[in-house]
Amino acid sequence: MEQEIHHGDREPALVAAIDLGSNSFHMIVARTDQGEIRLLDRLGKKVQLGAGLNKESILQDDAIERGLDCLAEFSQYLNGKTFKAVRIVGTNALRKAKNARAFLEKAREVLPYPIEIIAGREEARLIYLGVAQTQANDDQRLVVDIGGGSTEFIIGEKFEPKLLESLHMGCVSFTEGFFKGGTITPERFHRAYCAARLELLNIEKPYRQHGWVDVLGSSGSIKAVSSILAATDGTDIITVDALKKLKETVLSFGQFERLRIPGLRPERQGILPAGLAILLASFDALGIDNLHYSEGALREGVLYDMMGRDQHENVRERTVNALMTRYRVNLVDADNVKAHALNCFKQAQQAWELSDKQDLPLVLWAARLCTIGLDISHTRFNCHGAYIIRHSDLLGFSKSQQKQLALLIEGHRRSVPMAAISACLESDAERLIKLIVLLRLASLLNHSNVSAGSIDYRLVVGDKHIAFSFPKGWLKAHSLTKADFERECYYLEKTGYQLDVF
C-alpha cells in the first residue's frame, strides 16, 4: 500500500517506486505534473536476494544484510524530500522466503514505508503497465521479462493485459541450479535450456493461439543481451540467430570470470548464461522472430499504477467486481453491508485512529465480498470465502492485502480467527481486529434486514469497548436483531472486546 505524506502547495509532487527483485533492488523517482509523470532519477544495486535462499527457502543473514544496506542507501536519498507517495514491492525471492516477515520487520526500521509482496501475476500486470507506457503504438504485443527468480509473459493491447503468467525460472535461480561454481559447459547450458522449455509447456499453446504483433523484452537479462548486440553487431534487435551466435560465444569462455564481451557489464557476467538460456528457450517455445528491448519495467509500472489509482483507474475495483460476478454475490445485500460498514467506520474512525486510505477500502471490499463463499456451501461460508481470497490471483492486490482481506471475510461471522491474526505483523493485528468488529456489526444489521439509512443507530468506541445504541424502543420491537446482537457480545468477549447494546 502506498503511503501518503502531505506537502505544501509550493513543493513539487514527488513520487517514488521501489522494486525489491531477486537479483537487484531498483528505485525510480518522478515528479507528477497535471496528470503526467516526469522521471527525475533512477537508483539500482545488485543485491542477489534470491541467491541468499537456502534449500529450505530461508533467507540467509548475508543476503538480508545486503538488502538492508541497499535500502539504507534508498532511505538516505528519500530523507529530507517530501513525497506524495512511496510504494515498495517485493517479488519472487520474498514470495518464496519462509522468513520474509523477519526481513520486512528489519526493512521497516531502515526504510519507514510498507513493503508489499506481490503475486507473480500481479508482478506481470505491473510489468506490462510499465512497458506499455513507453510504447507509441497500440498494437497487440507480447512482453517478456526475465527477472532473478521468475520470468513473466504478458500479451496485451494498449494498456490492458489479456494473458498473464509468471513462471518459476530466473537468471539467479537458474545460475544456482545449473551453473554452480561458475563453470559454463554445453551440457549445463542444455540442461538450463530444457528446464526453461519444460516451464514454458503450459503456456505455449494458449499464447501462440492468441498471437501478437510486436514482442518487447524488459529487465536486466534482456537489456544485457540487447547491449551486447548493439556493441558487437550494431543492432539492438534480438533475433534467434543472434541468440544462437551469442550462445556459442558465451560457451567458448568456459568460466564466468573469463566472460569478456563488448557491451556486457561486469556485474552481469555471472548471470548472463542462465538468462540467455531462458531467453533462447522462450524464443523457441513461442516462435518469436525478433524482440526489442523496452526501458519500462516493474518499477515504472508501479509508478503508473499509483497514478492510475489517483485517477480512479483502479484495477482492484475491477477485480472485486469480477469476483462478485463469478461467485454470484447478491448485489442488494452486498451494497447494504457496504453502506452499514461505511457508517460504522466513520463513527469509529477517530477514536480507533483508522485510515481512509488503508483501512476504509479494505473493510468496504470485505463488505462486498464477505458472502462469496455461499457459492460453495452455506456451512462455514465465511471460511470458504476466505480460502478463495487467500488462494486466488487478485490483480491489483499485494499478498499482504489478500491475507488481510481473507482474515476480514473469515472473521465477519462466528468465531474471530485470533490465531491467524496474531501471526500478522504486530502493527497490523490490533487494527485488523477493529476492522473485523466493524464488518461484523455491518453484517449483523444486514442479517436482521435493517436497510442502510432506515434507522439512526449510534456507535461509540473506546480502547476495548463498543457501545451500540438503537433508537428508543426499536430494539425491543425487533427481537431477531436483539438476539443477533446478544450472541455477538459472546463472540467479541473472546477477542477481549466488550459490546454493550441498548
Model confidence pLDDT, tens digit, residues 212-240: 999 999 999 999 999 999 999 888 899 99
Q: Which three cell numbers stand for residue 431?
A: 487494527
DSSP assignments along 236-261, one per residue: --EEHHHHHHHHHHHHHH-BGGG---
SS (H, E, C) 121-189: HHHHHHHHHHHHCCCCCCCCEEEEEECCCCEEEEEEECCEEEEEEEECCCHHHHHHHHCHHHECCHHHH
- CA–CA gap between residue 428 and residue 432 (Å, rounded): 6
H or E segment and range at residue 80: none
Would you state the pLDDT for residue 309? Answer: 60
Give the DSSP letter of residue 59. B
Q: How many CB atoms lie within 10 A of CB 76?
A: 10
Give the DSSP letter of residue 422. H
- The more confident residue out of 4 and 148 is 148
Q: Which three cell numbers stand for residue 196?
A: 526453461
Model confidence pLDDT, tens digit, residues 15-27: 999 999 999 999 9
- CA–CA gap between residue 303 and residue 88 (Å, rounded): 10
Residue 194 has pLDDT above 70, yes or no: yes
DSSP assignments along 193-240, one per residue: HHHHHHHHHHHHHHHHHH--SEEEEESHHHHHHHHHHHHHTS---EEH
Residue 371 has pLDDT above 90, yes or no: yes
Q: How large a percentage of the chain has pLDDT more than 70?
A: 96
Cβ neighbours for 343, distance < 8 A, ≥ 6 positions apart: 442, 452, 459
Model confidence pLDDT, tens digit, residues 28-83: 999 987 666 788 999 999 999 999 999 999 999 999 999 999 999 999 999 988 89
Residue 494 has pLDDT above 60, yes or no: yes
Averaged pLDDT, 287-306: 92
Max Cα distance, the chain (Å): 89
Residues for the chain: how many in total? 502
- CA–CA gap between residue 290 and residue 275 (Å, rounded): 17
pTM tops 0.75, yes or no? yes
Model confidence pLDDT, tens digit, residues 148-192: 999 999 999 988 999 999 999 999 999 999 999 999 999 999 999
Decide if 337 contacts 370 (C-beta within 8 A): yes
Would you state the pLDDT for residue 2? Answer: 37
Decide if 119 contacts 395 (C-beta within 8 A): no
Cβ neighbours for 280, distance < 8 A, ≥ 6 positions apart: 193, 240, 243, 244, 247
